[in-house]
Amino acid sequence: MRKVLIIGIGPGNADYLTIQAIEALNRADVFVIPDKGEEKADLRRLRLEICDRYIKDENYRLVEFKTPPRSKDPANYKRNVEDWHARIERDYQRLLAENVGEDECVGFLAWGDPTLYDSTLRIIEKIRARGVVAFDYEVIPGISSIQALAARHRIPLNRVGGSVRITTGRKLAEERSIGAETVAVMLDGEQSFRKIDDADVDIYWGAYVGTPDEILVSGRLADVAGEIELKRARARQEKGWMMDAYLLRAPGET
């Protein structure tokens, strides 16, 4: 039976791969490599560099997958995502049937950790449940961008006895407050921290965390929001893509 490995590769630094992930890389016969266009060619290149660096047997195969575009209509966010996933699901099912032998193992390299704001696991499970292509799958955890961000800022993710909430920029913009929690924010293309009512909260922001292009900013939100916006815009223009995350918490002991 086919075997699918969903391998967490961390947020952009090849050094963040775990020993388990490296061993999984060396079990795979085939890797599915997403192509998100020239703008995000760096993401494809890093996946290839990881394979080249860690895989001992050079006889593995690469299957290119052109990622379909997703509608950005904010009024129908969930439906847009469902439609997008459905198209990827059909393509993945075809790739598994046509490019992976019945006794072969295929690897999907997921950014960060496959269980945190990544859709690969959800899509693969839907394909398996449909039963058109028979396979089993395994999930190999990775270092998430939130873990790496806290480490690079040299702060614990949680306060003593405190909670941590992980959310998206879209949800943060709707709520406009963080309360007493530490809030980790991902997938924020609109810099929703600008909409927080309490500007006294502290922010720990990072882009391209762990890579040579890493940018870190921290401080009182009211004092550093403009700096973050400027650095983020400049970096996105230079690289053509942006991958960032941040933590928000009320002032006090970390």
CA separation for the pair 118, 8 (Å, rounded): 10
> Which pLDDT belongs to residue 252?
76
Pick the range with the lowest mean pLDDT from 53-57, 70-74, 136-140, 164-168.
Answer: 70-74
Confidence of residue 39 (pLDDT cuts 50, 70, 90): low
Q: Which two tokens stand for residue 119?
A: 């859709």
Q: Which domain holds residue 153?
A: 145-249
> Which pLDDT belongs to residue 35?
81
Q: What is the CATH number of the domain that holds 129?
A: 3.40.1010.10
Question: Directed axis angle between helix 120-130 and helix 77-99, to 10°?
Answer: 60
> Which pLDDT belongs to residue 116?
94
Q: Which of 97, 122, 140 delimits the end of a domain?
A: 140
Q: Tell me, yes or no, whether 254 lies in a domain.
A: no
Rounded to a whole number of angstroms, the distance between the first and last alpha carbons of the chain is 49
Average pLDDT over residues 124-132: 94
Average pLDDT over residues 13-25: 96
Q: Are residues 132 and 177 in the same domain?
A: no
> Which pLDDT belongs to residue 204?
97
Q: Are residues 33 and 127 in the same domain?
A: yes
Q: Are residues 176 and 109 in the same domain?
A: no
| Residues contacting 118, CB < 8 A, separation 6+ | 110, 111, 112
Average pLDDT over residues 18-27: 98
* Tens of pLDDT, residues 66-116: 888 877 776 788 888 889 999 999 999 999 999 999 999 999 999 999 999
Strand partners, 61: 30
> Which pLDDT belongs to residue 162?
87
Average pLDDT over residues 128-151: 96
Q: Are residues 242 and 187 in the same domain?
A: yes
Q: Are residues 17 and 125 in the same domain?
A: yes
State pTM to two decimals: 0.91
Q: What is the CATH number of the domain that holds 186?
A: 3.30.950.10
> Which pLDDT belongs to residue 37?
67
User: For residue 10, is pLDDT > 90?
Assistant: yes
User: For residue 169, is pLDDT > 80?
Assistant: yes
Q: Tell me, yes or no, whether 162 lies in a domain.
A: yes
> Which pLDDT belongs to residue 26?
98
12-16, 21-25, 62-66, 197-201, range with greatest mean pLDDT? 21-25
Q: Are residues 75 and 174 in the same domain?
A: no
Q: Which two tokens stand for residue 123?
A: 């899509």
Q: Tell me, yes or no, whether 156 lies in a domain.
A: yes
